[in-house]
Structure 1
Amino acid sequence: MSTEEVNATTTTTNQDSSSNIKKKPKLRRYDSLDLESASVRGHQPHGSKKMSWPVILSLAFQSIGVIYGDIGTSPLYVYASTFSNGIKDNNDIIGVLSLIYYTITLMPLIKYVFIVLRANDNGNGGTFALYSLLCRNARVGLLPSQQAEDTEVSNYQLQLPSNRLGWSLKVRSALENSKFAKYVLLFVTMLATSLVIGDGVLTPSISVLSAVGGLKEASPVFTEGRVVWISVAILIMLFSVQRFGTDKVGYSFAPIISVWFSMNAGIGLYNFIKYDPTVIKAVNPWHIVQYFMRNGKEAWVSLGGVVLCITGTEALFADLGHFSVRSIQISMSMITYPAIILAYSGQASYLRLHPDEVSNTFYNAIPAPLYWPMFVIAVLAAIIASQAMISGTFSIIQQSLSLGCFPRVTVVHTSDKYEGQVYIPELNYIIMFACVCVTLAFRTTEKIGNAYGIAVVFAETITSSFMVLVMILIWKKHIIWIILYVVCIMSVELTYLSAVLYKFAHGGFLPIAFASVLMLVMFTWNYVYRKKYYYEMENKVSTETLREIAKQSNFCRIPGLAVFYSELVHGIPPIFEHYVGNVPALHSVLVFVSIKSLPISKVPPEERFLFRRVPPRDLHVFRCVVRYGYMDVRNEHEHFETMLIQRLQEFMRDDFWLHWDRNMKGELGDDRVELVEDEHENEDDFIRNGDDNEEVIRRKEEELLKEMEVVEKSGRAGVVHMMGESEVMAAKGASLGKRIVIDFGYNFLKRNLRQTHDKVFEIPRKRLLKVGMTYEL
């Protein structure tokens, strides 16, 4: 229930109880905390409010500096990577330019900007967002946050069977009834995420190395070795400042990238007019056919270089949450797309007259007076492109962590103003080490390009596969539109994928190896995470057991409020019984807190906490779910325990009026309200024959105030945070694979990469008590 509803009920006067009760809002509550914890009543999709044009245009300008750095710096190295063995036929330049035209038009512009961006999850993008969207519209999820009860909640938008759904219903039923298909979906989601993170390793290396490579043309003093070491120094500096967060420079990136695009467009137009305007004939796709007819297999292999012109398009989708669909459509269509088309056209015109300079086309084509200004802007643009990709990698890891697919690493929120800006120290230095090693090992952009292409195309192909499912299950498009998408988009991507996989032995193995390691980490953590959760579900403490514990003669209550953390949402975790079995004492008030990550982007603050009372009432035991979306950022300035106590008192007022309304009616009166009868088993005197309603209300309000005072006094007496530290091990008789995953893989990750709840909620160490127990899975 929202705060407004609670306030409305508590301000009702007692002078005419009958009329007052009628004026109260309808109070509704499900008896299943697990079910209601998946419902966010106040949730509104991101971007649902209409934005004014000034706001849209402002976001469009800001997006230039955040999401287009990678695709904007691709002219630095595309031609060099495509013609790695030199240009054999001058007409091949026209064929490659035609390929670039149509690749950029089909992939970033048509596919992502005008199709994929529409498949956002409440305004947020990325692979996990698409997976979340599918899970909320069909029962295809494996995560504990998507159980059977959740399917009835409106937030999940599940549809009832209907004949009008036709073959869309058949596809959905096949996926829902196949456990293998569910595992494949989760596996593919993890794979795409791992590839994008691998992209975050290669982007800084190839961007910085390409930009600094301009020094070789300026002076013979700058040899290849020195260029490599300068690039390494810039990379180390780049990763060292990550802890300060991108908020420190804000959107100052946008003017720099705008200057970069303007100069690229201007120089491209200058070269186009000066050298060979006839390259405009590349708009005719027949030149692509002729290019393949002349070069055969070599043309197919060269696609691995051409595809680098669309690097960063996956990040464009992942960063959607910072902007809006319309703002990205404007900035891409009006600025980015024309600028890079002109840049590639100008370079092609230059190469038509200087084909032997293809290894460093970008800098050779710059007019002499603009060389050094362009060099400085190129280095800055490369750093910005790397920064955006690194920040995007951190955000992806945060999403994975929220959905139980990554170990609990330390996540630092670097901005109070901009959502989603996070810094992960462990990952930052791992990526920095990987970038430095890649730069030192490959040394040239051509060799890094071989590895770079696989990460880019593989991730985009997976996105297209998810889009086909979205079209079938959610949009319910006609089969003709789906076939058209597969033929025009996916077939092109699969062709590019086959070309980049050909270079597997020449560096293409690197992103696959990196993604495999990440996949192993994610799968191991997620597998044990689910097993552990379901173990607690099967072995939770029942209400009867809690009553027996309370009746024990050696059981005593001590002053204070205890907060017991658990992964379990519905019920009391088994570790509690283990605790009271060894320490037969409980604080005056006990709250079981569990964190539930919902497959939505954000949970409104007023819907963050959800409470239930655990009978018997005189125990003062409550269950609480703290709900977060995968893009939620914790407010650093709000104390968690203060918010918890405040929301608990609001719940107690809500609970009082709900049951008063119920008893006044003598029945629920609304089939949506289902209450557990034994929560209020001692309320026989609530309404009796002939009792004065006003006196009853006064008496019950006094009881409510006394109970709230118990919570207040307990909070002042001291809050103790009790945290279950369960150790997991494979059960006796488990298979060898299961023992390896649980006993070695999971426990190794838990020991070395762990962000406990005491860090998440700023729990003082002096008031933290950890309770250990071993689970045999």
Structure 2
Amino acid sequence: MEESSVIEVQEVEEQRHERNQNYRQNSFRKLAKVNSFDFEVEEATAQPRQSREDVDWATLFTLAFQSIGVVYGDIGTSPLYVLPGVFPDGVQHSDDILGVLSLIIYSLILVFLIKYVFIVLSANDNGDGGTFALYSLLCRYAKVSLIPNQQVEDKEVSNYQLDNVSNRRLRLAYGVKSFLENSYYAKQILFFITILGTSMVLGDGVLTPCISVLSAVGGLKEAKSSLSDNVIMWVSVLILILLFQVQRFGTHKVGSSFSPVLIVWFFFISGIGIYNFFTYDPTVIKALNPWYIIQYFQQRKKDAWISLGGVVLCLTGAEALFADLGHFNVRSIQISTCSLVFPSIILAYMGQGSYLRKHPMDAPNTFYASVPKPVYWPMFVVAVMAAVIASQSLISASFSIVQQSMALGCFPRVKIVHTSPKYDGQVYVPEINALLMLACVGVTLGFKNTLQMTNAYGIAVIFVFTLTSAFLMLVMIMIWKTNISLVLLYILTIGASELIFLSSLLFKFPQGGYFPLAFAAVFVIIMYVWNYGYRKNYTFELENKVSVQKIKEIASDPKISRLPGVALFYTELVQGISPIFTHYVSNVPALHSILVFVSIKTLPISKVPQEERFLFARVEPYNLSIFRCVVRYGYNDARKESESFEEMLVHHLKEFVEEDFRRVGRSISGRLDNNEEVTNHEDEVKREVEFLIQQVREGGVIYLFGENQVICSKESNFAKRFVIDNGYHWMRRCVRQPDEVFLVPRRRLLKVGMIYEV
């Protein structure tokens, strides 16, 4: 048995090696047809890749168990504050409870279960979710990105997963795709929706810890009524500060006990819900009839519409469920939702409704008032722990979102710390952690209680819902090619209900609803200014790139000295070389023996397989020893330390040299009958590889970075001057520099300065 297993492993490794070799050979063959410094050529066909969904049942149920502790903290703790948000002054009529319960039940079914669990999760980007995942998915199927994409070196990545549709019946999909690609304003709107949705999720990352912890700690007041709101507030602030201090240890350590705690929480709330249901008023089962929603609006009219702002809080965490998808898979989340989470939440709300039918004035403190006295303190402890877990899920999601935004050029450079050696998606961002902590403390001290906070929280939640629906409709039409009648059905049901929720919450704008919009506005401005400057910088380099002929002239100039060693000249361009290179040579007339122009490029996909990370080309003639290297990352890929990066780059460069010579050698052997020239060619391969190894050993690896300053031209208008010369310039000085992001050793770093006038 053991011997056969070894043989199987060896066969798998051989197949993988052969697959990688074929990939490299195909890549080199395609790129050899074109200019080595211009990779913009015809489309390549992506190779199939095993889906993350293809796992055995044991793994599937393990993932389902683990997902309980990471995904459902927010929506699982919503029974702490939903009914108090709907009835802040108590229940006026007992039948109102049936209408509100019916609203909660069908909102959970329609938005949480149908929309997110069974529709939105399918719109993932190679297993990753969130606003940027939807945007990157659209960018791969249509040329809507503001930064050039869909180039051959991108499409050869095996999980790029482009679809080539030829069905004539799908005119709507083609029409939408054509409109988005040809409309500058449509591209800008898509980008704005993306950064707005991202900013709103970051707003959730501030509000979720505040409202969850404050609601859970509020149970102390039920046990000891003499405690003031200020005491509850300061206890909550202390817990929040401790919560953010432990983030540096990483999600995998902080969350090691999440699943057992939340499973206990779900059993507690469902058990208490069943107890209250049979103890107080089992007739609340009538809330399953949606007719009570109509009656509720007929009787309460405007008050019923206003109360929707509290009802929507039962859906908090649905977007986090999508954003945290990358740690699990769709099927595992569907299993855990349907088997435990959804039934437990429904039972909890039914039990609270049953209790309120007999104690209508306890509505402002529904959760703890409905807990039976014998289990009060155990329930309080579990509630606080569950609230901390709920906070953790949104904080972790905020870190991931910032990482994705930064990788795609939409967020200023900050430090990304990968906290888990096993899961690349688990990251910690010190600057964002500090910002969120200060914002959480400020919000808690400012609002002091959950009443106004629920208004702010609801607007942040429903805005993200509506933006996700907007993207989802594009995915349905353009990618899934869904029947138009089903798209209209979605719009008229889920889309319409979300807009009604949004209208109710905007009515509460003066009562705290302004906060998430103000917070999001700040982040939208930061992200847009940074991306605008980033695009102007990229466009300038693209328009002023150095031609391959110019590179040859410089390298062949006898006045240019060649120094021992390997120089890595970093450039953000893929189609050409940055003009900083000629600026450098004009001031320092010396080049290293081996020159590699390196482009670090982030693709709109979550991960790039390790064997497909590096893509090389060379400048002929061979004796120049000048190469081009595109290093491709997905937005969730971890950046390696400089030493390991050097080792990998040199290793792949050596493989490229050998393969490139073999390709030329095969061409020679196919034209000649004698083997003399073939033998000479093989000797050249050995000399080239030995020369590479020798240069690394003697001169080492030197890093050359361009440090450019982007300024506006004299004819630019005031708005452009203000954004570039003030906003973008100030951000670039305040944030981490490229050499810090790429972990470049200072002792081997040389910076070259230049001014870009845009």
TM-score, normalised on structure 1?
Answer: 0.91
Distance 2:157 2:252 in 1: 37
User: CA 1:645 to 1:43, structure 2 compared with 1: closer, same or farther past 3 Å?
Assistant: farther
CA shift for structure 1 position 171: 2.1
User: CA 1:296 to 1:277, structure 2 compared with 1: closer, same or farther past 3 Å?
Assistant: same
Distance 1:571 1:26 in 2: 18
Q: Give CA-to-partner distance per residue, 1:220-256, whole Å, 9 cap, x none.
A: 3421100000000010111111111112144420000
Whichever residue aligns with residue 283 of structure 2, its letter is T
Q: Which moved more, 1:163-172 or 1:696-705?
A: 163-172
User: CA 1:697 to 1:5, structure 2 compared with 1: closer, same or farther past 3 Å?
Assistant: farther
Which runs of structure 2 are paired with 1:646-685 in the superposition (5 Å)? 646-665=651-670
User: CA 1:355 to 1:405, structure 2 compared with 1: closer, same or farther past 3 Å?
Assistant: same
**Residue 746 (1) aligns with residue 751 (2):** no
Residue number in structure 2 paired with 1:497: 502
Whichever residue aligns with residue 564 of structure 2, its letter is P
Distance 2:352 2:555 in 1: 80
Residue number in structure 2 paired with 1:93: 97
Distance 1:392 1:139 in 2: 27
Residue number in structure 2 paired with 1:139: 143
**Equivalent residue of 1:34, what SS?**
coil
Q: Give CA-to-partner distance per residue, 1:264-310, whole Å, 9 cap, x none.
A: 00000000000000000000001001111111111100000000000
Q: Give CA-to-partner distance per residue, 1:137-157, whole Å, 9 cap, x none.
A: 122222233469968999462
Q: Which moved more, 1:616-625 or 1:571-580?
A: 616-625
Which runs of structure 2 are paired with 1:373-388 in the superposition (5 Å)? 373-388=378-393
**Residue 582 (1) aligns with residue 587 (2):** yes
Residue number in structure 2 paired with 1:593: 598
**Residue 769 (1) aligns with residue 750 (2):** yes
Whichever residue aligns with residue 730 of structure 1, its letter is C
Partners of 2:199 and 2:524 within 8 A in 1: yes
Which runs of structure 2 are paired with 1:360-379 in the superposition (5 Å)? 360-379=365-384
Unpaired segments of 5 or more residues in structure 1?
10-23, 667-686
**Residue 127 (1) aligns with residue 108 (2):** no
Distance 1:40 1:650 in 2: 23
Counterpart among 78, 83, 96 of residue 87 in structure 2:
83
Which runs of structure 2 are paired with 1:591-630 in the superposition (5 Å)? 591-630=596-635
Counterpart among 702, 706, 711 of residue 720 in structure 1:
702
Residue number in structure 2 paired with 1:445: 450
CA shift for structure 1 position 4: 3.4
User: CA 1:413 to 1:27, structure 2 compared with 1: closer, same or farther past 3 Å?
Assistant: closer
Whichever residue aligns with residue 688 of structure 2, its letter is E
Which runs of structure 2 are paired with 1:14-413 in the superposition (5 Å)? 28-30=29-31, 31=34, 34-35=39-40, 44=49, 46-47=51-52, 50-146=54-150, 155=160, 157=162, 159=164, 162-413=167-418
User: CA 1:635 to 1:153, structure 2 compared with 1: closer, same or farther past 3 Å?
Assistant: closer
Counterpart among 518, 531, 556 of residue 526 in structure 1:
531
Whichever residue aligns with residue 739 of structure 1, its letter is R
Partners of 1:96 and 1:306 within 8 A in 2: yes
Distance 2:575 2:26 in 1: 27
Counterpart among 644, 652, 657 of residue 639 in structure 1:
644
**Residue 4 (1) aligns with residue 17 (2):** yes
CA shift for structure 1 position 760: 3.7
Distance 1:767 1:55 in 2: 46
Whichever residue aligns with residue 483 of structure 2, its letter is H
CA shift for structure 1 position 402: 1.1
Partners of 2:46 and 2:155 within 8 A in 1: no
Partners of 2:413 and 2:741 within 8 A in 1: no
Distance 1:631 1:43 in 2: 20
**Equivalent residue of 1:28, what SS?**
helix
Residue number in structure 1 paired with 2:6: none
Distance 2:294 2:19 in 1: 70
**Equivalent residue of 2:29, what SS?**
coil
Partners of 1:603 and 1:632 within 8 A in 2: yes
User: CA 1:6 to 1:551, structure 2 compared with 1: closer, same or farther past 3 Å?
Assistant: farther
Distance 1:192 1:709 in 2: 53
Residue number in structure 2 paired with 1:679: none
**Equivalent residue of 1:389, what SS?**
helix
CA shift for structure 1 position 531: 1.4
Distance 2:569 2:384 in 1: 51
CA shift for structure 1 position 520: 0.6
Partners of 1:37 and 1:627 within 8 A in 2: no
Whichever residue aligns with residue 124 of structure 1, its letter is D
Partners of 1:42 and 1:607 within 8 A in 2: no
Partners of 1:561 and 1:589 within 8 A in 2: yes
Residue number in structure 1 paired with 2:10: none
CA shift for structure 1 position 88: 1.0
User: CA 1:151 to 1:252, structure 2 compared with 1: closer, same or farther past 3 Å?
Assistant: closer
CA shift for structure 1 position 452: 0.3
**Equivalent residue of 1:724, what SS?**
strand
**Residue 705 (1) aligns with residue 706 (2):** no
User: CA 1:748 to 1:184, structure 2 compared with 1: closer, same or farther past 3 Å?
Assistant: same
CA shift for structure 1 position 447: 0.9
Residue number in structure 2 paired with 1:560: 565
CA shift for structure 1 position 698: 1.9
* Alignment coverage as a number of residue pairs: 736
User: CA 1:8 to 1:202, structure 2 compared with 1: closer, same or farther past 3 Å?
Assistant: closer
CA shift for structure 1 position 517: 0.7
CA shift for structure 1 position 635: 4.7
Counterpart among 502, 511, 516 of residue 506 in structure 1:
511
User: CA 1:353 to 1:3, structure 2 compared with 1: closer, same or farther past 3 Å?
Assistant: closer
**Equivalent residue of 1:642, what SS?**
helix
Partners of 2:305 and 2:504 within 8 A in 1: yes
User: CA 1:645 to 1:168, structure 2 compared with 1: closer, same or farther past 3 Å?
Assistant: same
CA shift for structure 1 position 659: 2.0
User: CA 1:36 to 1:627, structure 2 compared with 1: closer, same or farther past 3 Å?
Assistant: farther
User: CA 1:529 to 1:463, structure 2 compared with 1: closer, same or farther past 3 Å?
Assistant: same
Partners of 2:46 and 2:161 within 8 A in 1: no
User: CA 1:25 to 1:88, structure 2 compared with 1: closer, same or farther past 3 Å?
Assistant: closer
Whichever residue aligns with residue 733 of structure 1, its letter is E
Partners of 1:43 and 1:604 within 8 A in 2: no
**Residue 422 (1) aligns with residue 423 (2):** no
Partners of 2:44 and 2:155 within 8 A in 1: no
Residue number in structure 1 paired with 2:3: none
CA shift for structure 1 position 168: 2.2
CA shift for structure 1 position 160: 5.8
RMSD over equivalenced CA pairs, Å: 2.2
Distance 2:67 2:43 in 1: 32
Identity %: 56
Distance 2:291 2:434 in 1: 48
Distance 1:7 1:306 in 2: 53
Q: Give CA-to-partner distance per residue, 1:657-680, whole Å, 9 cap, x none.
A: 2222334446xxxxxxxxxxxxxx
Whichever residue aligns with residue 729 of structure 1, its letter is I
